[in-house]
Amino acid sequence: MFLVFSAVVAVVLTVLPMASPPRQILLQQISPDSGSSTFDWNLEATPDTNWTGHLIFDTVSSLLQHWPNTRHRNGHNIVPGSVPVGTLLYHGRGNNAIPTLPEWTATNPEHSFTFCWDSMTNNGSIAGCWQLTFVTVRPLRVLYFDGSSGAKMENGPMDAQDLLLWGTADPARRMDERERINDLCAWGKYLGIDGYVRMEMDFEVMVCDFSNGVELLSADYLSAWMKESAREPLIFGTILSGSWHGRYPGETRVHLDLTKLISFYDTSLTPSLIPDRESKERWDHRVLGISAPDLAVVKRRLQDVLGSGTNMGSGVDWKTLYRVVVDRYADRLETLDYLLDTTTTESLHERAPIIQTELRIMLTPYILYTTRPSWLSTAGSASYVEGIDEAWALPVWRACATRHTEHIHKNSGLQSRLTSSERLLLGALDGTNREICRVLVRMWATGVHAGLDALLPGKEDSSTLVLSQILKQWRTHAHSLIAWLDWSVWVKCRPTCPAEEICYLPTWPYFGVNEWDRKDEQWKRPQPRCIRKFQPYSVLT
Ligand SMILES: *[C@@H]1O[C@H](CO)[C@@H](O)[C@H](O)[C@H]1NC(C)=O
Ligand SMILES: *[C@@H]1O[C@H](CO)[C@@H](O)[C@H](O)[C@H]1NC(C)=O
């Protein structure tokens, strides 16, 4: 019977009485200790609806990327980081004076250039504007607010920063940018914060003190597009520069320290937000509903992490580890979804084994040579987990679900060095990966039962009726997994944009006419579309 199970299980079995191993002990000993040592390895069980790990996973995977943070504007993370030495920061203004107050700088000149407007005279005739280029001469300590945190909008994008500063997010203060930057810089001064990173059409660094950490490289009086009719090249230039950081790795001029990340999706930190999110779609999740005590805890945590030294934590490269999981599944789940959705009754017999092969390919690293369906094994294995037909596939699920982080759970030295942010990251990764694996293993095992697998004989004949039932089930599982993960990598223009166009998600302040008042779906739930990238430009409605 040992041949039936994976090596991991077999090792556990050898230290247990040989006859009918007690299931609970068996499962507990081999479950990943992600704060869920009693995790029930039940292939039918879906994640708790209040669980937010998949949202932590997605927002962390999306940090500093323009596309996902344009799609979901209401940021939920505050992350300390740095801007390295030698980074250029651009500041458009009406004169050539080095700012004596905190000011906004852009990581791209296309963005800062839109702030040259100051210098326009009443008659609109001025020909130029000032662009100051600064360079960092030491690493700047910054704090990053994710989402479209620079979009001066109601309904959530500015919640995190305003709550931090003012204890509330008041729609009337949306445009109080001078006070906001002054207050942010005053607040962070004692914590050694040099600036704040936010995102709107592109990324910006709000610099608190231009006499400390940055030097003026050049102050240039540039010829400028000042006439109203010439605004379009400016706008499209900025949209394009933002798109350069649309996808992974995003804006790389900012380096984040994930060991100090604070997430408003951390339910242990902000339990008051759980009921607030109930029955709301993700677009509508806001940080504003946080209770005063929870906000106090967040602030204290933030001050703690900012006050702690550098080089904290385990040394695990979380950004890459998260990316490994996204890489492994993003394209494949998309392909799987495509295959499922384009399979017809006519193509069912041809397509079903192809889909099964795709499932097997995804799970290949975890399907041992000894993995066999229960009906092929000797007596004993069937009683291993009563009532669940896919029990034989559980070792595949476990291996798939735990392989990437098993070493962290097993290494107590490493575990003891995890910061609380890292423990949050670990739990989110484990739970997300486990759910992906659960769905895939379940789908795959169903296909094995139906005799669709190329390497394992099935239990049933694959009649058209059975196959269409399986297809239906597969679709349901794949669709709900994809919806649950909600990765923005899947949000694309379909069909792909032609060479003259780029794929665009509506972003502040270019919602078209009356951008402040729009309440339609396009405004609330940005959908991608192709826009022209040179003249004549598309109308941004
Ligand atoms: C516009 O204003 C500028 C600066 O005030 C002035 O020098 C220029 O002559 C004016 N141009 C026209 C066409 O009135
Ligand atoms: C989810 O949270 C709500 C609000 O706190 C609570 O009433 C509900 O019981 C929770 N659901 C589960 C499945 O725990």
Q: Does residue 221 lie within any of the structural domains?
A: yes
Q: Does residue 270 lie within any of the structural domains?
A: yes
pTM (2 decimals)? 0.89
Task: Say whether both 54 and 70 belong to one domain.
Answer: no
Q: Does residue 134 lie within any of the structural domains?
A: yes
Task: Say whether both 78 and 49 belong to one domain.
Answer: no
Q: Which of 306, 332, 360 is the last residue of a domain?
A: 306
Probe ligand 2: pick from 50, 267, 285, max atoms within 8 Å of CB? 50
- Cα–Cα dist 329/188, whole Å: 39
Task: Say whether both 366 and 342 belong to one domain.
Answer: yes
Task: Say whether both 451 and 523 belong to one domain.
Answer: no
DSSP string, 154-211: SSSTTHHHHHHHHSS--GGGTT-HHHHHHHHHHHHHTTT--EEEEESSSEEEEES-TT
Which ligand 2 atom sits closest to the C-alpha of 49?
Answer: 13
With a 6 Å cutoff on the Cβ, whether 50 touches ligand 2 is: yes
3-state secondary structure of 85: coil
With a 6 Å cutoff on the Cβ, whether 49 touches ligand 2 is: yes
Q: Does residue 539 lie within any of the structural domains?
A: no
pLDDT in tens, 167-191: 999 999 999 999 999 999 999 999 9
Probe ligand 2: pick from 48, 52, 270, 274, max atoms within 8 Å of CB? 274
Is the pLDDT at 49 greater than 60, yes or no? yes
Task: Say whether both 399 and 366 belong to one domain.
Answer: yes
Give me ligand 1 centre to Cα 523, in Å: 40
Is the pLDDT at 122 greater than 70, yes or no? no
Task: Say whether both 364 and 481 belong to one domain.
Answer: yes
| pLDDT at 127 (0 to 100) | 64
Range of the domain at 519: 501-532
Do 235 and 515 form a contact (C-beta atoms < 8 A)?
no
Whose alpha carbon is nearest atom 8 of ligand 1?
Answer: 125
Domain count across the chain: 3
- Cα–Cα dist 411/312, whole Å: 17
Task: Say whether both 152 and 233 belong to one domain.
Answer: yes
CB atoms within 10 A of CB 300: 10
Q: Does residue 464 lie within any of the structural domains?
A: yes
Task: Say whether both 70 and 55 belong to one domain.
Answer: no
Q: Does residue 478 lie within any of the structural domains?
A: yes
Give me ligand 1 centre to Cα 127, in Å: 11
Task: Say whether both 86 and 203 belong to one domain.
Answer: yes
Q: Which of 306, 328, 351 is the last residue of a domain?
A: 306
Task: Say whether both 135 and 37 belong to one domain.
Answer: no
- Residues whose beta carbon lies within 6 Å of some atom of ligand 1: 121, 123, 125
| Mean pLDDT for the stretch of residues 385-389 | 47
pLDDT in tens, 410-435: 999 999 999 999 999 999 999 999 99
pLDDT in tens, 433-491: 999 999 999 999 999 989 999 999 887 767 899 999 999 999 999 999 999 999 999 99
Q: Does residue 496 lie within any of the structural domains?
A: no
| pLDDT at 126 (0 to 100) | 58
Q: Which of 250, 281, 306 is the last residue of a domain?
A: 306
Is the pLDDT at 33 greater than 90, yes or no? no
Task: Say whether both 201 and 72 belong to one domain.
Answer: yes
Q: Does residue 394 lie within any of the structural domains?
A: yes
Do 171 and 122 form a contact (C-beta atoms < 8 A)?
no
| Mean pLDDT for the stretch of residues 239-267 | 97
Give me ligand 2 centre to Cα 331, in Å: 33
Task: Say whether both 459 and 322 belong to one domain.
Answer: yes
Shortest CA distance to 250 belongs to which of 320, 203, 315, 196? 203
First to last CA, the chain: 65
